[in-house]
Amino acid sequence: MLSTQTLLTAANEFGTPLYVYDASNIRLQYATLKQAFRRSDVKIFYACKALTNVNILKILEQEGSGIDCVSINEVKLAMKAGFTAKRIIFTPNSVGFDEYLEATALKVNINIDNLSLLEEFGHHFGSSYPVIIRLNPHIMAGGNIKISTGHVDSKFGISIEQVDLIRDIMERTNITVKGLHIHTGSEIKDLEVFVKGLELVLDQTKHFPDLAIVDLGGGFKVPYKPDEVGTDMEALGQKLADTFEAFEQSTGKKFQVWFEPGKFLVSQSGYFLVKANITKQGPSRTFVGVNSGFNHLIRPMFYDAYHKITNISNPDGELKTYNIVGNICETDTFAWDRELNEVRPNDIILFNNAGAYGFEMSSRFNSRNRPAEVLFTNGSLKLIRRRETLEDILEGVVLD
Ligand code: LLP
């Protein structure tokens, strides 16, 4: 945990709105996963869509993590951070064959989640480029419907009921399948969801003679609300190891297990700092208007997500109930009816758990600059992305 003093210093030195990340927390989360899965042959691939600042990628690279990328640019950022091709998985969705070709030129692991692309890939490469296939296990799980990806109506993966069609493609094209992958959603606390997913995948492994990898995706829950608990990683590690060991005993087959966590690795490391611009007393609500909005942290408006919010510059102020709102030109509410120590203009307001899908999902809506990013590492604050300016917004615009 970063201290209030460190966060206030960061706001003072670098201005607000500001994202601050704690390097040691990222390392700790990685170590927690390694420890929890110690009984199995596990490799962690950080789902970098959560936060792609190359300085953050470098931390996980140094820890020994692999990396999961969903676009060719993410692959290139990963390489910039020092990840070698073998430690990268390319797991896109709804991309064209050309993007796959670019990824194969970089020799990264390829994940395919569509029958026609699999066929095209197979005709192009035959058995020369073994792939991983994403299955849709028809499991409904995740924090809310927008982040549930493994149910029958989801666009992701090849239905588990279409494995015979995959087999036909393997026969026709000679393509080698080296891994099976599922990812059922984000913020999954129920361990049984992971166990059920694993059992469904293990059951399909008999159809794939060259299989070496079972990839169970990401989706571990981190606690956002004060009374919430996250996924019990230690218990999950034990349960999955039990399932794998039982399978090994009955079939003699052993697989390497891959995971792709995003939130678990970086969410808690991140702090978002904004400044109160105004307070407004309406007939039914008191508003705190801050110098940011859903253009900088979209999770509350997009997923009804909860982030803990505190007034760190007036910690002893009287508790009052506020709607905390942003400055965007449409409904832009970070929190409804939230208790905060009295907010005065210029107070510094902190959002916790903002490392994952915070800066990464930010935009320039309303032509506002995106925030700066700072890393707290080895006891000091280091700027890792400068605040944008009007020049950044104009860059790329073609003027007469
Ligand atoms: N693997 C795949 C194939 C994924 O699609 C995702 C996330 C992950 C791994 C990592 O999931 P995580 O461990 O971060 O839950 N923007 C949303 C979350 C969307 C997740 C999309 N896919 C949010 O802010 O809650």
Structural domain contains residue 399:
no
Q: Are 290 and 334 in contact (CB under 8 A)?
A: yes
Of the three residues 240, 266, 292, the one that is the final residue of a domain is 266
Structural domain contains residue 389:
no
63 and 147 inside one domain: yes
- In the predicted structure, residue 222 carries a pLDDT above the cut 90: yes
pTM above 0.85, yes or no: yes
Q: Does the Cβ of 37 fall within 6 Å of ligand 1?
A: no
Q: What is the pLDDT at residue 144?
A: 76
Q: Are 367 and 284 in contact (CB under 8 A)?
A: no
The residue among 235, 193, 214, 247 whose CA lies nearest residue 35 is: 235
- In the predicted structure, residue 264 carries a pLDDT above the cut 80: yes
Reported as a pLDDT band with limits 50, 70 and 90, residue 54 is very high
User: Could you tell me the CATH number of the domain that includes residue 109?
Assistant: 3.20.20.10
Q: Does the Cβ of 147 fall within 6 Å of ligand 1?
A: yes
| DSSP structural state of residue 379 | T
Q: How many CB atoms lie within 10 A of CB 374?
A: 22
54 and 188 inside one domain: yes
- In the predicted structure, residue 116 carries a pLDDT above the cut 90: yes
Annotation says 329 is catalytic? yes
Question: In 3-state terms, what secondary structure has residue 309?
Answer: strand
Ligand 1 centroid to residue 94 C-alpha, Å: 16
Query: For 304-344, how does the pLDDT look when each residue is reduced to its tens digit (9 = 90+)?
Result: 999 999 999 999 999 999 999 999 999 999 999 999 999 99
Ligand 1 centroid to residue 377 C-alpha, Å: 26
Structural domain contains residue 216:
yes
Cα 272 to Cα 145, 187, 237, 258: the distances in Å are: 25, 20, 31, 31
- In the predicted structure, residue 185 carries a pLDDT above the cut 90: no
52 and 193 inside one domain: yes
Of the three residues 266, 282, 304, the one that is the final residue of a domain is 266
Q: What is the pLDDT at residue 149?
A: 81
In the chain, the number of structural domains is: 2
Partnered with residue 215 across adjacent β-strands are 181, 258
Question: In 3-state terms, what secondary structure has residue 275?
Answer: strand
Q: What is the pLDDT at residue 152?
A: 84
Tokens encoding 302: 């997009």
Q: Does the Cβ of 263 fall within 6 Å of ligand 1?
A: yes
Structural domain contains residue 247:
yes
Q: What span, in angstroms and rounded, lies between the C-alpha atoms of 227 and 269?
A: 19
Structural domain contains residue 395:
no
- In the predicted structure, residue 213 carries a pLDDT above the cut 90: yes
Active-site position among 105, 329, 397, 398: 329
Q: Are 217 and 132 in contact (CB under 8 A)?
A: no
250 and 322 inside one domain: no
Q: What is the pLDDT at residue 90?
A: 98
Ligand 1 centroid to residue 219 C-alpha, Å: 6
Of the three residues 251, 266, 281, the one that is the final residue of a domain is 266
153 and 52 inside one domain: yes
225 and 351 inside one domain: no
User: CB within 8 A of 369, min separation 6: which ones?
Assistant: 387, 388, 389, 390, 392, 393
Structural domain contains residue 12:
no
Range of the domain at 258: 23-266
Q: Does the Cβ of 299 fall within 6 Å of ligand 1?
A: yes
Q: Which residue type occupies 226? A: P
58 and 192 inside one domain: yes
195 and 325 inside one domain: no
- In the predicted structure, residue 277 carries a pLDDT above the cut 90: yes
Q: Are 12 and 387 in contact (CB under 8 A)?
A: no
Tokens encoding 133: 């296939």
For the CA atoms of 129, 184, 157, 104, what is the dihedral angle to 10 degrees?
A: -30
Structural domain contains residue 174:
yes
Structural domain contains residue 374:
yes
262 and 311 inside one domain: no
82 and 186 inside one domain: yes
Reported as a pLDDT band with limits 50, 70 and 90, residue 184 is confident
Reported as a pLDDT band with limits 50, 70 and 90, residue 19 is very high
261 and 280 inside one domain: no
Using the atom order of ligand 1, give the atom closest to the CA of residue 186. 15
Q: What span, in angstroms and rounded, lies between the C-alpha atoms of 296 and 290?
A: 11
User: Could you tell me the CATH number of the domain that includes residue 370?
Assistant: 2.40.37.10
Q: How many CB atoms lie within 10 A of CB 266?
A: 32
121 and 189 inside one domain: yes
Q: What span, in angstroms and rounded, lies between the C-alpha atoms of 310 and 321?
A: 12
Q: Which of 49, 70, 258, 362 to mutate to test the pocket of ligand 1 (most atoms within 8 A of CB)?
A: 49
Cα 391 to Cα 3, 15, 33, 368, 388: the distances in Å are: 34, 18, 42, 12, 8
